[in-house]
Amino acid sequence: MLHDPDTLAFYDREAAAYAARTRGEPVRLRAFLEQLRPRARILELGCGGGQDAELMAAAGFEVTPTDGSPGLAAQAQARLGRPVRVMRFEELDEVGAYDAVWANACLLHVPEDGLADVLGRIHRALKPGGRFYAGFKSGAGGDRDSLGRYYNFPTQETLRAAYGAAGAWAELEVTTGQGGGFDGVPRTWLHVLAVKGA
């Protein structure tokens, strides 16, 4: 299983509150979009309340927002005024379909032993040269937070190993930063930008 049922259930219960939370300026997303060609096709995994998809669409990109939580997908659909696909990571089966994949703070919920498989699915879904961003909360291995959500809490080393097992990347950059989350706990984040090999 490449998802945690209890975590998905949490997001279904808390969908309205999660979608309504105040977020900071999307500096990382804007920088990601600047590297893409105009009207690039973007797959968003874990779209949450749809804020990032809204920004991508407004900037002229062809975005496909998805979320594993039906509750959050409904929140995003209401915001965007368009269908949002309910899709779990293990259901991604497209090949060479996207110029980019944006997975902000969602792959951190994938069980550790399934992460390489999910990353491999993303690798296959990207076109050669496609760009892929994901953010993870750093730690010493899988655990739950105070709200009961599962996190894989990787180290840089385990994260690089999972990406390496997923396919050939022309670039793989891991940077760190400090940030919070819905539980209000400060964490060290690992931001991964990968580019699929040609």
Confidence of residue 180 (pLDDT cuts 50, 70, 90): confident
Confidence of residue 126 (pLDDT cuts 50, 70, 90): very high
The residue-averaged pLDDT of 4-18 equals: 94
The superfamily (CATH) of domain 5-196 is: Vaccinia Virus protein VP39 (3.40.50.150)
pLDDT at position 35 is 97
pLDDT digits (tens, 9 = 90+) for 80-119: 999 999 999 999 999 999 999 999 999 999 999 999 999 9
Confidence of residue 132 (pLDDT cuts 50, 70, 90): very high
Identify the bridge partners of residue 67 per DSSP, sorted by sequence position. 86
Share of the chain above pLDDT 70, in %: 99
For every residue of 125-156, DSSP letters joined together read: HEEEEEEEEEEEE-SSS-EE-TTS-EE----H
The residue with tokens 């491999």 is 120
The residue with tokens 């040609």 is 198
Confidence of residue 157 (pLDDT cuts 50, 70, 90): very high
Which residues, in sequence order, are CB contacts of 159 under 8 Å at separation 6+? 136, 174, 190, 192
**Please, what is the angle between helix 51-58 and helix 70-80, to 10°?**
30
pLDDT digits (tens, 9 = 90+) for 43-88: 999 999 999 999 999 999 999 999 999 999 999 999 999 999 999 9
User: Which of 150, 123, 115 lies closest to 43, judged by CA?
Assistant: 123
Confidence of residue 36 (pLDDT cuts 50, 70, 90): very high
Its pTM stands at: 0.96
Which whole-number Å values give the CA distances from 122 to 128, 137, 148, 171, 195, in the listed order?
Answer: 12, 19, 27, 15, 11
Q: Say which amino acid occupies 162.
A: A
pLDDT at position 8 is 95
Residue 155 confidence (pLDDT) above 90: yes
Q: What CA–CA distance (Å, rounded) separates 71 from 68?
A: 9
pLDDT at position 88 is 96
Q: If you ran DSSP here, which 8-state letter would residue 37 be given?
A: P
User: Which of 52, 121, 41 lies closest to 88, judged by CA?
Assistant: 121
Mean pLDDT (the chain, rounded)? 96
